Chains A and B, each alone.
Chain A
Amino acid sequence: MNQIFDIKRIYKYTRLKLEVNKKLIVLSVSGFFGFAFIVTFFIANFSANHGTYNMINTFHMGTFVFMLFAGIVILAGRTFHDMNSQERSIAQLMLPISTFERFLLHVLTSSAGWIIISFVSYELFALFTNFIWSSVFNISIDTFYIFNNVSTYDAVKVLESLFFIHSIFFLGAGAIKKYPMAKTALYLFVVNSVFTFATMFFILILFGSFENFALITGNFYDNYLSEELLLKVGEYSEYVFIIFIPLVLYVVSYFKLKEREV
């Protein structure tokens, strides 16, 4: 039997994880949809009184995006929550599965798995609520389909940012034992602030003022950089953010997971 990857072991582990977390998953998902359902009632009621029938679909769009991003952050940030105390850690680390299998399952379920589940479940929820409220209030609501409102290009951009955020919080979950989600968010804030202030500081030191900086760099762009080159730089930096950085963060997460002790 392969000691690094075995599909049967992954299946057993997936089953175990689903069963152990079943209650939490059902409670959170039903709580979220329950709350959204109540809100759609008020929106449908308002729509019926004011004749703005598709307001409910705008709500669906916003809620779906919130669900997607909040879900990614929560799932990635809580990935190894069952290894955050000594007793739980022992139970997890002693399970006869490889670190790679553990890593793979968690990476896939908390990213791609979540994206698929939230898309399917939200579409079903929207279909259900639109049907219910259109029948109850006798109004006509368009069928909600996410891709009616979002272009493929925008969807790809959303996916890129989802994976970027996922990789950051996933690493946080692998590297930080206590309160990984909150600490990762805090580190992000600190790192961002430090970079922003450092940049501002250097601009002021080197150029005297922001106006001066804008003038000099503007002249520099006009004289030495072509639009084509700038686009290329933009494209490559996007690759760095959507491919290189998440990849590095995932690799580091794997090694952090491998290093875990009790």
Chain B
Amino acid sequence: MLNIKEMSFAYKRNKNLFENLELDIASGNIYGLLGKNGAGKSTLLKIMSGLLYYQKGSVTIDGLDVAKRLPKVLSDIYIIPEEFYLPDLSMEKYIELYSVFYPKFNESFLSDLIKEFGLDRGKKLHSLSYGQKKKFIIAFAIATECSIILMDEPTNGLDIPSKSKFRKIIASAINDERTFVISTHQVRDLENLIDPVIIIDEGRIIFNEFIETISSKLSFVKTDKENSKAKGKVFYTETVFGGNYLLTERLSDEESPLDFELLFNAVLSNTVEIVEHLNN
């Protein structure tokens, strides 16, 4: 679906943020794009959507170069940036004016999503709070039925009930024809939703694995200070109140609940060993 091949990008000359980056985004998945501040997550989303021009390589959607910004490509990809702009229109008018650009736009689905998020369709967009605006733009993006939806920190500004509604909506909206790529710091907001997990660090994709692979080969174990419960190889240790939290190789049949924060920290501090273990 979306292919990035040997892509290099730099904001400044002689200082590449991405160098020969390779990534394949397949349909039917909700990709979680994780990384520290400044790792290049937002930049990567902008390159994927053609908002930034890469200097080398290729970024294509179904074989079409995104940098050409063809209407055909643009009508099948939607990006929700962290900071977004909504014009001074009523919700109704916005839907009427913008939906016509998206051939697969699903009006009744949008009504359901607006209802689900508890929004009032008759309201002016400028009278909404930041969180309400965000919910509206998320609902609109999903209703476009675009094949690729890119979201940068979508849960920022959402209240707790809205975050769970967001998870529910995304889970119900995914199908074999479409893909979500969600970039976030707030991994807990997206637990049980994202699959696969991509971790990006200093412009490199250091980790790209499906949840099934992670769960089948790694264990997330809480133990005492002496790590007495630890079995198998320990890849990462995090001290928590009353003991340690460990990422170990999985030896038993018992599956442990995946902890994204622990995984993220472990991958950043011990990438090579973890990736090697998962690939063996």
Contact = CB atoms under 8 A, between A and B. Distances in A.
A19 B92 CA distance: 13
Interface in B68-94: 69-72, 74-75, 77-79, 81, 83-89, 93
B130 interface: no
Given A16-B97, A20-B87, A1 B71 contact: yes
Given A9-B71, A98-B71, A91 B84 contact: yes
B10 interface: no
B71 A262 contact: no
B49 interface: yes
Given A12-B100, A97-B101, A87 B85 contact: yes
Interface in A89-120: 89-91, 93-99
Interface in B92-106: 93, 97-98, 100-102
Interface in A109-158: none
B228 to A, nearest CB: 52
A96 B52 contact: no
Interface in A4-26: 6, 9, 12, 15-16, 19-20, 23
Nearest to A89: B51
Nearest to A19: B97
Given A20-B89, A87-B81, A262 B101 contact: no
A98 B51 CA distance: 13
A91 B98 CA distance: 11
Contact of A95 (B86, B88, B101): B101
B92 to A, nearest CB: 12
Given A20-B89, A86-B83, A93-B51, A3 B72 contact: yes
A12 B81 CA distance: 24
Given A6-B71, A12-B101, A262-B46, A94 B85 contact: no
A166 B235 CA distance: 65
Interface in A47-86: 85-86
B53 interface: yes
A96 B74 contact: yes
Nearest to A98: B71
A94 B48 CA distance: 12
Contacts of B79: 90, 94
Nearest to A99: B69
B89 A262 contact: no
Given A87-B85, A88-B85, A94 B93 contact: no
Contact of A94 (B52, B53, B74, B89): B74
A15 B89 CA distance: 13
Most buried by A among B49, B69, B74, B83: B69
Nearest to A86: B83
Contacts of A12: 97, 100-101
A209 to B, nearest CB: 49
B75 to A, nearest CB: 4
B75 A96 contact: yes
A222 interface: no
Contact of A90 (B51, B77, B87, B97): B51
A20 B84 CA distance: 16
A91 B85 contact: yes
Given A19-B89, A23-B88, A262-B46, A93 B69 contact: yes
Contact of A261 (B51, B83, B89): B51
A87 B51 contact: no
A3 B81 contact: no
Contacts of B87: 20, 91
A259 B69 CA distance: 11
Contacts of A9: 71, 101
Interface string B32-49: 000000000000001001
17 contacts: A3-B70, A12-B97, A12-B100, A19-B93, A86-B81, A89-B51, A91-B84, A91-B85, A93-B50, A93-B69, A94-B49, A96-B71, A96-B72, A96-B75, A96-B102, A97-B74, A97-B101
Interface of A: 1, 3, 6, 9, 12, 15-16, 19-20, 23, 85-91, 93-99, 259, 261-262
